[in-house]
């Protein structure tokens, strides 16, 4: 007999329907598993029961079981049959992988070949899972080869069709309302409009990256591009572009002209001097970013201002119906000094918070863990007494409720302690980072500030003194 001293087991059982549960199927499964565990000398840690199909993986008991596996709360999982766990081979392989990673054994009572508590059982299991994985890999390789072959002949095999097309019997067909938008994008670009301007003229906002994808996608000139995604490079296949079976939306000459124009553009960003508060400022009035102002005198003297005002003047077509923002520009040196002062004061208050946290964390975690362990043993004990008819059901339920309440209270105490400790560690990290900021190095200082600061909300009314503004700092806590 295997060495089973002090080994903790979890029993998992499942039926597919309420009718099966009512016919005592779950109780019969559980009784057989309990009997098996007692014969082997296993301590029953918990029993999980689900009434749901094995093809559904969000079962309450199954999800709770996985949490116990990840926490390594027990040593052996006992089921009547592997089909009680899952019904799909893919999920079964993944599930056994989780058990193996956490050194938890598995026993299927009615399937001796599924037993990892013995050397022979482990060997048989590894062979079985290896064959399953081998077949899955071979199937994936065959699918990949077939897709590459179809794509190389010009057939669409990439799933969701690009904007402007629809799938009919697995072939691309033009979706005329969307195709009109695609044509207008190409026409606007050839007429000198920027990506942002094109995006802003649309009834919906995609963003300039999506506009660029449409302008550079060869599907629109009647070709198929395949194998360019990063994950496909694992297949050691060359990417290619071939003539497709579908009708083009853009004639090939116009498409090529767009590519030449796009490549000829000077897309290098204009050199911008770094600022201390870049990427951190938000306008309190409208929620847009506060950014460095550029052009004219702003290139000589640093000012921060709401981005919405800049956007309205740069593209009135899109922003003519947008809400107005009455916030004023703020002189850079005044705002930066105010932010540093407010940040220093806020971080100094964290020291006081650390002292308060220490007071909260006086509970002895080891004693709490030991108490919880005793309560769980007591819970298992009264469950066994109830199963053996040594205590009545009413007394069992009463004691069970009392013990579970105590366990919940101790777990809550532990969780509160852990959360407090996280807050203390975070406070210490912020204090340490702030103490090492070199404000003479603007780029490095901005990088550190973006680590410890979530956002800085600013507000300034027009026609008020230049130093009359509000600053609210939100730390990454």
How does pLDDT run across 340-374, given as a tens digit for each residue? 999 888 888 876 554 554 555 555 667 778 888 88
Give the count of beta carbons closer than 10 Å to the beta carbon of residue 453.
21
**Delimiting residues of CATH 3.40.50.1390 domain(s) in the chain:** 8-135
Q: Which two tokens stand for residue 107?
A: 């026993």
Name the phi and psi angles at 413, rounded to 5.
Answer: -65, -40
User: Is 8-135 in CATH node 3.40.630.30?
Assistant: no
Instruction: Tell me whether residue 280 is exposed, middle or buried, using C-beta atoms within 10 angstroms of its C-beta: 0 to 12, 13 to 18, 19 or more.
Output: buried
Residue 23 in this model has a pLDDT that exceeds 50: no
Is this model's pTM higher than 0.85 or not?
no
Q: State residue 44's pLDDT score.
A: 93
Q: State residue 64's pLDDT score.
A: 92
* Residue 197 Ramachandran class (φ > 0 left, ψ -120 to 50 alpha, else beta): alpha
Q: In Å, how far are 54, 156, 163, 221, 245 from 242, measured between CA atoms?
A: 44, 11, 19, 11, 10
Residue 269 in this model has a pLDDT that exceeds 60: no
User: How far, in whole angstroms, is CA 350 from its chain's centroid?
Assistant: 30
Q: What DSSP letter does each residue of 37-52 carry, written as one string?
A: HHHHT-EEEEEEEEES
Q: State residue 65's pLDDT score.
A: 93
User: How far, in whole angstroms, is CA 42 from its chain's centroid?
Assistant: 38
Confidence of residue 36 (pLDDT cuts 50, 70, 90): very high
Give the count of beta carbons closer than 10 Å to the beta carbon of residue 460.
27
User: Measured in Å, how far apart are the chain's first and last C-alpha atoms?
Assistant: 54
Region 405-414: what's the mean pLDDT? Answer: 81
Instruction: Tell me whether residue 406 is exposed, middle or buried, using C-beta atoms within 10 angstroms of its C-beta: 0 to 12, 13 to 18, 19 or more.
Output: middle
Q: Higher model confidence: residue 425 or residue 266?
A: 425
Residue 268 in this model has a pLDDT that exceeds 90: no
CB distance 227 to 240 below 8 Å: yes
Q: State residue 354's pLDDT score.
A: 47
Residue 13 in this model has a pLDDT that exceeds 60: yes
Name the phi and psi angles at 78, rounded to 5.
Answer: -115, 125
Name the phi and psi angles at 414, rounded to 5.
Answer: -65, -45
Q: In Å, how far are 189, 190, 215, 357, 385 from 194, measured between CA atoms?
A: 7, 10, 12, 54, 78
User: Is 165-264 in CATH node 3.40.1710.10?
Assistant: no
Percent of the residues in the chain that have a pLDDT greater than 90, as a whole number: 25
How does pLDDT run across 199-218, given as a tens digit for each residue? 888 877 677 788 889 999 99
**Delimiting residues of CATH 3.90.1750.20 domain(s) in the chain:** 165-264
């Amino acid at each position: 007999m295997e060495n089973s001293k002090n080994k903790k087991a979890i029993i998992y059982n499942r039926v597919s329907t309420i009718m099966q549960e009512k016919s005592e199927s779950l109780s019969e499964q559980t009784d057989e598993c309990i009997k098996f565990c007692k014969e082997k000398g296993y301590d029953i840690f918990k029993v999980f029961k689900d009434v749901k199909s094995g093809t559904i993986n969000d079962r309450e008991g199954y999800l709770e079981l996985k949490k116990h596996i990840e926490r390594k709360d027990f040593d052996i999982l006992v089921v009547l049959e592997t089909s009680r766990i899952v019904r799909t081979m893919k999920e079964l392989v993944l599930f056994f992988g989780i058990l193996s990673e956490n050194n938890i054994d598995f026993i299927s009572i009615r399937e001796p070949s599924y037993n990892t508590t013995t050397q022979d059982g482990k060997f048989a299991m590894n062979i079985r899972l290896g064959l399953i994985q081998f077949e899955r890999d071979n199937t994936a390789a065959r699918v990949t080869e077939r897709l590459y072959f179809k794509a190389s002949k010009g057939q669409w095999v990439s799933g969701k069709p690009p904007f402007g097309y629809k799938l009919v019997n697995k072939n691309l067909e033009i979706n005329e309302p969307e195709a009109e938008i695609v044509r207008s994008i190409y026409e606007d670009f050839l007429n000198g409009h920027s990506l942002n301007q094109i995006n802003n003229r649309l009834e919906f906002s995609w963003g300039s990256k999506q506009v660029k994808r449409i302008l550079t996608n060869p599907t629109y000139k009647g070709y198929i591009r395949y194998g360019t995604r990063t994950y496909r490079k694992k297949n050691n296949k060359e990417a290619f572009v071939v003539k497709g079976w579908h009708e083009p939306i853009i004639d090939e000459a116009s498409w090529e002209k767009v590519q030449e124009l796009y490549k000829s553009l000077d897309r290098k960003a204009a050199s911008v001097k770094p600022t201390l508060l870049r990427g951190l400022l938000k306008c309190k009035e409208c929620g847009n970013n506060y950014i460095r102002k550029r052009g004219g005198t702003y290139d000589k003297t640093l000012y921060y201002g709401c981005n919405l005002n800049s956007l309205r003047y740069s593209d009135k077509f899109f922003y003519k119906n947008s809400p107005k923002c009455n916030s004023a520009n703020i002189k850079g040196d005044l705002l930066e000094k105010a932010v540093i002062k407010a940040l220093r004061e806020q971080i100094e208050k964290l020291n006081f918070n650390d002292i308060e946290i220490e007071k909260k964390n006086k509970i002895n975690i080891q004693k709490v863990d030991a108490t919880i362990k005793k309560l769980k043993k007591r819970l298992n004990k009264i469950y066994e007494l109830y199963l053996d008819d040594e205590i009545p059901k009413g007394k069992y339920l009463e004691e069970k409720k009392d013990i579970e309440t105590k366990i919940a209270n101790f777990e809550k105490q532990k969780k509160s302690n852990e959360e407090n400790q996280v807050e203390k560690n975070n406070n210490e990290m912020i204090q340490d980072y702030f103490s090492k900021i070199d404000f003479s190095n603007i780029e490095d200082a901005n990088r550190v500030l973006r680590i410890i600061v979530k956002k800085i909300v600013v507000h300034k009314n027009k026609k008020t003194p230049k130093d009359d503004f509000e600053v609210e700092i939100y730390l990454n806590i």
